């Protein structure tokens, strides 16, 4: 399955004063974040060349080099886990923002935030399904069928994330709109990279 470039909404970049850290699902121990193996780091950099955003791919995944080693399967699983964490964080952010502005924002902005939360909720479910499938590949079932499910879910999640910004087209330009759009684009790029690495893993295992 080829990775298609998504048509992300054009939103001005907005710098945030807060620093954000994400937590992966219980997949990697804290000790694996340190003293990365140089061959594993090179493997990640090379693998990220197959993604649409290779630099982002490398910077977001190289810290897990010791967990990845040179395993396409492990790299894909971790990339999906990172995508899940980012999508969950975005859904939480939109939910909190919606509650904060509900009484003072224009109705179109409130509706757009609610729709965005719904689409990211669907994306979280789809990415979670993908991660669970990859963690529990059944050797008694077709590898191609199981991974086709993962590819379908990840592709649908990417579409749902990108759809979040559709509702903001009629919203008056301003800091809130710019901030949400900027954050959404960042998350969709991470998910796009994860899908590309899933596709690469499938290609290495296919006859």
pLDDT tens per residue, range 135-169 = 998 887 899 999 999 999 999 999 999 999 998 98
**Are 189 and 52 spatial neighbours (Cβ–Cβ below 8 Å)?**
yes
Whether the pLDDT of residue 24 is over 90: the answer is no
Residue, of 28 and 107, whose pLDDT is higher: 107
Count: domains in the chain? 1
DSSP state of 34: S
Query: How far are the Cα atoms of 23, 41, 186, 196 from residue 66, in angstroms, in the given order?
Result: 17, 8, 25, 21
Whether the pLDDT of residue 91 is over 70: the answer is yes
The average pLDDT across 182-187 equals 97
Confidence of residue 46 (pLDDT cuts 50, 70, 90): very high
Q: Is residue 63 part of a domain?
A: no
Q: Is residue 29 part of a domain?
A: no
Find the CATH number of the domain harbouring 144. 1.20.140.40
The average pLDDT across 36-62 equals 94
Q: How much is the pLDDT for 36? A: 62
Class of residue 193 by CB neighbours under 10 A (exposed 0-12, middle 13-18, buried 19+):
buried
Q: How much is the pLDDT for 71? A: 96
pLDDT in tens, 116-127: 999 999 999 999
Q: How much is the pLDDT for 20? A: 32
Q: Is residue 66 part of a domain?
A: no
Q: Is residue 61 part of a domain?
A: no
Q: Is residue 105 part of a domain?
A: yes
The average pLDDT across 176-205 equals 96
Q: Is residue 69 part of a domain?
A: no
Q: Which among 194, 187, 189 has a CA at the least distance from the CA of 22? A: 187
Q: Is residue 173 part of a domain?
A: yes
**What residues make up the domain containing 92?**
84-205
The average pLDDT across 41-53 equals 97
Q: Is residue 9 part of a domain?
A: no
């Amino acid at each position: 399955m080829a990775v298609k470039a998504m048509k992300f909404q054009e939103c001005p970049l907005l710098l945030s004063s807060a620093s954000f850290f994400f937590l992966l699902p219980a997949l990697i121990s804290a000790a694996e974040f340190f003293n990365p193996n140089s061959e594993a780091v090179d493997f990640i950099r090379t693998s990220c060349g197959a993604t649409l955003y290779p630099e982002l791919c490398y910077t977001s995944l190289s810290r897990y080099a010791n967990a990845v080693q040179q395993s396409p399967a492990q790299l894909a699983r971790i990339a999906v886990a990172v995508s899940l964490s980012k999508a969950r964080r975005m859904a939480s952010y939109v939910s909190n923002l919606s509650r904060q502005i509900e009484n003072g924002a224009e109705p179109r902005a409130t509706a757009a935030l609610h729709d965005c939360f719904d689409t990211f909720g669907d994306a979280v479910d789809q990415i979670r399904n993908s991660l669970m499938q990859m963690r529990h590949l059944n050797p008694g079932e077709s590898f191609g069928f199981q991974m086709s499910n993962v590819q379908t879910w990840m592709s649908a999640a990417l579409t749902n994330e990108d759809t979040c910004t559709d509702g903001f087209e009629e919203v008056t330009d301003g800091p809130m709109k710019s901030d949400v759009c900027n954050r959404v684009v960042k998350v969709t790029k991470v998910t796009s990279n994860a899908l590309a690495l899933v596709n690469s893993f499938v290609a290495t295992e296919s006859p």
